[in-house]
Amino acid sequence: MSRGFLVADHVADVRVKAWGSGFEDVFSEMSKAMWFLMFGEAQIPALHKWHIEVTGMDMEDLLVAFLNEQLVLFDTDGLVMAGIEQIRVEPGQDGEEVRLDSVLCGAHVSHVQARVNLQIKAATFHGLHLTPAEAWVTFDV
């Protein structure tokens, strides 16, 4: 099955559709879309790796947490994602929270030969739609 994303036009904000085969693909494609919004087609060198682990009360919560954690790391540590090397989503059992483990690669923003196109304040729950095959997320910009 194919995977990818598209950015939909929206008057005040940005809505993105991402698709793939399973939650891992969908989460990865949505992450790529978010970085595309911020840095466009710029080539991001894979100079560093970092680990992101988040939990959520459900898959939607997990997706929003994963995206927002990437924004936090950009804001605080200047980390810009080039790609996702590993990603694993573990459904919670018996009321446990769902969990995501990932390894991202990329570079510090000072090594990126491009300016930020768009400031994303946050991934939101507004109009959020998520299945194992696709997701729609609205970003507050």
Partner 1 sequence: MATNLKMVQGRECQWIMPKSGGMKVDGAIFATEEILKDLEGTKAIDQVRNVAHLPGILQASLAMPDIHEGYGFPIGGVAATDMSSGVVSPGGIGYDINCGVRIMVSNLTRDDVMKRQEELVNKLFANIPTGVGKTGSIRLSRKQLAQVLTEGAGWAVRNGYGWDSDLEHCEENGCMDGADPGHVSDRALKRGSDGLGTLGSGNHFIEVSYVEEIFDEEAARTFGLFKDQAVFWVHSGSRGLGHQVCSDYLRVMRRAISKYGISLPDRQLDCAPIASDEGKQYFAAMASAANYAWANRQILAHYVRESVSQTFGKTPESLGMYMLYDVAHNIGKIEEHVVDGNSRKVLVHRKGATRAFGPGHQHVPGKYRQVGQPVLIPGDMGRASYILRGTETAMKLSFGSACHGAGRALSRTQARKAITAGELREELASRGVFVRSATMKGLVEEAPDAYKDVSTVVEATHRAGLAAKVARVRPLGVIKG
Q: Which is nearer to partner 1, 60 or 134 (CB)?
A: 60
Q: Which is nearer to partner 1, 3 or 128 (CB)?
A: 128
Shortest gap between Cβ of 58 and partner 1 (angstroms)? 9
Whether the CA torsion 79, 52, 82, 22 is positive or negative: it is negative
Q: Which is nearer to partner 1, 3 or 99 (CB)?
A: 99
CA distance 17 to 15: 7
Q: Which is nearer to partner 1, 76 or 93 (CB)?
A: 76
Contacting positions for partner 1 (CB under 8 A): 9-12, 14, 56-57, 60-61, 64-65, 68, 72, 74-76, 78, 109, 115-119, 121-122, 124-126, 128, 138, 140-141
Q: Determine the 3-state secondary structure of 30 from DSSP.
A: helix
Shortest gap between Cβ of 102 and partner 1 (angstroms)? 17
Pair type for strands 48-56 and 134-140: unpaired
For 23, 86, 107, the CA distances from 133, given in Å and listed in that order, are: 7, 19, 29
Shortest gap between Cβ of 8 and partner 1 (angstroms)? 9
For 9, 39, 100, the CA distances from 94, given in Å and listed in that order, are: 40, 40, 17
Instruction: Read off the tokens for 103.
Output: 């390894």
Shortest gap between Cβ of 10 and partner 1 (angstroms)? 6
